[in-house]
Amino acid sequence: MRIVLASASERRQSLLRRLTNNFDIIVSDFNEEEIKFNGDCANYVMELAKGKALAVSNIINANAVIIGSDTLVAFNEHILGKPKNEVDAFNMLKLLSGNIHQVYSGVVIYDTVSKKIKTDYVCTNVKFSELTEEEIKKYIATGEPMDKAGAYGIQGFGGIFVEKIEGCYYNVVGLPLNKLNYMLREMGVNL
């Protein structure tokens, strides 16, 4: 069975290679603005992942298992997306400083043959240490925060800010491998 990852994210691609090298990448053209946030982060991130997987299913003409995923960072029920600029990145990191926030990833597996769809999510609590303004500015100067939800990457320089996590590390990177592997097996896909 052909496996397709519906994501342009290099982090997700790299993580999926820990499970298998036998997959294709087809970037979803799903318009995420079609899904409105109703205050439920878990449901929202699963709907985004589902939209991505189904959008890819509409453009391929093959038997495949499509993996869709989306990750978001939330603090006090508010979503922190990718920063618009360095000031936005600074404000996000200042907000996260010394606090616990949540990282949600929605995962969807869609089988184009059976039309079966499996949807789930993972939530990880992340505790940041207290950050000085100097530390935040130095980190922003690396450029790393600019393409990451919540303005940091745990797998990069931003990892030094993380005091502890409760839950799946790979979820914070962008693809919860344990959950994905379990869901694939439930769909009859053994990697």
pLDDT tens track for 48-98? 999 999 999 999 878 999 999 999 999 998 999 999 999 999 999 999 999
Rounded Cα gap, residues 126 and 149, in angstroms:
13
Mean pLDDT of 27-37: 92
For residue 132, the cross-strand partners are none
Residue 191 predicted with pLDDT over 90: no
> Where exactly are the structural domains of the chain?
2-186
User: Catalytic amino acids?
Assistant: 70
pLDDT at 48: 97
Q: Are 120 and 183 in contact (CB under 8 A)?
A: yes
Name the band, by pLDDT with cuts 50, 70 and 90, for residue 101. very high
pLDDT in tens, 115-151: 999 999 999 999 999 999 999 999 999 999 999 999 9
Residue 1 predicted with pLDDT over 90: no
Helices (H) and strands (E) counted in the chain, each on its own, are 6, 7
pLDDT in tens, 148-171: 999 999 999 999 999 999 999 999
Residues written for the chain: 191
Residue among 166, 189, 169, 188 at smallest CA distance from 178: 169
Tell me the pTM.
0.94
Q: Are 100 and 124 in contact (CB under 8 A)?
A: no
For residue 181, the cross-strand partners are none
pLDDT at 77: 83
What's the CATH number for 2-186? 3.90.950.10
